[in-house]
Structure 1
């Protein structure tokens, strides 16, 4: 499980190109909704926004991690089965980061219904003229449907506990921060680096190897 956390961070970092597509418009719109303030005041609001989003991710991860451990315990089944699923998801995320398969985006449809109910509340928090509003908006932003978020959340099922599931989602969220906080030349440089074939394929290969290793360990326990 220890290696799961840096893997989740890597998924967030390399998969954040998708975050820019999904959330880049939101970030830009929120910039305009902030009153005229200094650069540091805007950065403070942006950090509180991200803190709210990561709080929601961690909450979801904790709930899912607790549910997975409890459900398997009640069923008298081993968490090894969930680890097998986690390995398969890792391979799927590796293919996504390598841009060889985009099936994970289909998961976004699952959350559209919930987001349609949450989104109207976000408008009541505009303009973002206080830290409380920024953090509250971030909490709701965490409900935005995202295939990578849902895949990592499914991975949290096999974490074995609420705390492990929350930490897994938190690490994923931290990985998305550089892309969403960077603007201008910094954002372009970061995007260009992540779009380099060797960067994407190296990261995807590492994730795929770890996913296959996870699957092998799970099958080893199930068979032997």
Structure 2
């Protein structure tokens, strides 16, 4: 389980350049709408906003993880097939992070219908002038269509349990936090670092090796 969580963390950290394109403007606009007060209140609201987003990710991960395990048990099929699927999805994410393949972006269309229902609720919470509103808006923000989120959800589906599915999505969300929370020169430095091809290739290679090992292990146990 620990290698899965580390892999999810890396995917969130390196893949969050895409998050900055989709969510960076939203995060900046939301932070501008927050009241500037002393005693750390102006930091509490952005943190609660992100905590709400991670809560939604975790709930989605738990739901699909439970569904995947239950479906395989009802079908009387080995959970190793889910592990094989997890390896394939992880390999796809490695290709996406290396920028050799951008197929995951097409998954964003799948969540547009859900976002149409969530977006009006989110708008009613503006401006974010309280802790409750910040957390609630974060819950809505977690439903924003994102190919990287959906592919990680597919990986959670293949995790084989409710807790593992939630943990994978939470680790992914934690990996995206630096890109969302940092501002100014710190954010610029992080973007520059993550866009370094060598770093992306090294990270993608590590994920691809782990994905290949996962696929090989599942196939070996299924066949033998």
Mapped pair 1:121 → 2:144: no
Q: CA deviation at 1:37?
A: 2.6
Q: CA deviation at 1:39?
A: 8.3
Write the distance in 2 (CA, Å) between the matches of 1:97 and 1:183.
Answer: 23
Q: Structure 1's 39 and 18: CA in aligned 2 closer, same or farther, altered over 3 A?
A: farther
The answer for the alignment partner of 1:223 in structure 2 is 223
- The list of structure 1 runs, each at least 4 consecutive aligned residues, that deviate by more than 4 angstroms after superposition, is none
Alignment of 1:8-23 (within 5 A): 8-23=8-23
Task: Structure 1: state its 5+ residue gaps.
Answer: none
Q: CA deviation at 1:221?
A: 1.1
The answer for the alignment partner of 1:189 in structure 2 is 189
Mapped pair 1:176 → 2:180: no
The answer for the alignment partner of 1:7 in structure 2 is 7
The answer for the alignment partner of 1:25 in structure 2 is 25
Q: Structure 1's 22 and 30: CA in aligned 2 closer, same or farther, altered over 3 A?
A: same
- Counterpart secondary structure, 1:15: helix
The answer for the alignment partner of 2:156 in structure 1 is 156
Q: CA deviation at 1:42?
A: 1.8
The answer for the alignment partner of 1:144 in structure 2 is 144
Write the distance in 2 (CA, Å) between the matches of 1:47 and 1:169.
Answer: 17
Deviations 1:171-224 (A, max 9, x none): 000000001000001001101111111110000000000011111011101111
- Counterpart secondary structure, 2:61: helix
Write the distance in 2 (CA, Å) between the matches of 1:156 and 1:135.
Answer: 24
* TM-score for both structures, normalised by structure 1: 0.98
Deviations 1:18-62 (A, max 9, x none): 000010111111022112334832211000000000000000000
Matched residue count: 224
Task: Structure 2: state its 5+ residue gaps.
Answer: none
Write the distance in 1 (CA, Å) between the matches of 2:208 and 2:23.
Answer: 26
Contact 2:82 2:160 survives alignment (8 Å): no
* TM-score for both structures, normalised by structure 2: 0.98
